[in-house]
């Protein structure tokens, strides 16, 4: 394919005007340390809400990295924390016969955060308030930070007032995909 210049593939890349707005800042996160710093800062500074999408979720990972404590502090400040994970991917049982998903659910509900089941989930995202949106490859609440299973990870953080509509779409999509269904269609107990 590279032997002849005429074989080159050319793509007409259309600029994303919504992401080029001057009110939007873009930051790249690389590897676990940068992702962990971002999530800690987000949990510490959020005023209204935080959503974390992490297909796999492990209680001990959240504890080791200080996320449960930071979430508890955020909830105490009035921040609503919603986490989305796949119950099938987290079906592994611990020695007590409790699934990873149920163990995480108990830990999170104990601090006032909510874990929502979303089947066939693979997205990895974080949003906060109405102005921070991060999307990438990092399994926020389960990834190995060191050792042979630690991976090269990259995510993009978009921040600024222009992210409101993107975050609203993100939230609606998560509600629709959640096994619980949209919040507005649920009947009170």
Residue by residue, pLDDT tens for the chain (189 residues) are 556 666 655 656 565 565 555 567 899 999 899 999 999 999 999 999 999 999 999 999 999 999 999 999 999 999 999 999 999 999 999 888 999 999 999 999 999 999 999 998 899 999 999 899 999 999 999 887 777 776 778 899 999 888 888 888 988 888 888 866 655 444 333
Whole-structure pTM value: 0.80
Q: Which of 109, 103, 44, 110 is nearest to 82 (CA)?
A: 109
Answer for the pair 42, 10: CB distance below 8 angstroms, yes or no: no
Answer for the pair 119, 128: CB distance below 8 angstroms, yes or no: no
For 105-132, the pLDDT digits (tens) are: 999 999 999 999 999 889 999 999 989 9
Domains of the chain: 32-183 (3.30.870.10)
Angstrom distance (rounded) from CA 29 to CA 124: 13
Answer for the pair 44, 164: CB distance below 8 angstroms, yes or no: no
Angstrom distance (rounded) from CA 129 to CA 80: 10
CA angle 65, 111, 170 (to 5 degrees): 75
CB atoms within 10 A of CB 66: 14
Answer for the pair 116, 35: CB distance below 8 angstroms, yes or no: no
């Amino acid at each position: 394919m590279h032997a002849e210049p005429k074989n080159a593939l050319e793509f007409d890349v259309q600029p994303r005007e919504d992401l080029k707005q001057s009110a939007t800042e873009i930051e790249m996160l690389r590897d676990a340390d940068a992702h962990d710093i971002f999530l800690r800062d987000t949990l510490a500074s959020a005023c209204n809400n935080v959503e974390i999408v992490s297909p796999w979720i492990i209680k001990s990972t959240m504890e080791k990295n200080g996320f449960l404590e930071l979430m508890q502090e955020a909830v105490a400040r009035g921040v609503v924390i919603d986490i989305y994970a796949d119950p099938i991917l987290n079906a592994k049982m611990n020695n007590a016969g409790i699934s990873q998903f149920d163990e995480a659910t108990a830990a999170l509900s104990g601090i006032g955060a909510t874990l929502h089941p979303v089947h066939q989930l693979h997205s990895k995202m974080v949003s906060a308030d109405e102005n921070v949106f991060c999307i990438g490859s990092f399994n926020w609440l389960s990834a190995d930070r060191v050792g042979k299973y630690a991976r090269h990870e990259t995510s993009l953080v978009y921040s600024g007032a222009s992210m409101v509509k993107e975050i609203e779409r993100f939230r609606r999509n998560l509600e629709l995909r959640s096994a619980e269904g949209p919040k507005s269609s649920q009947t009170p107990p």
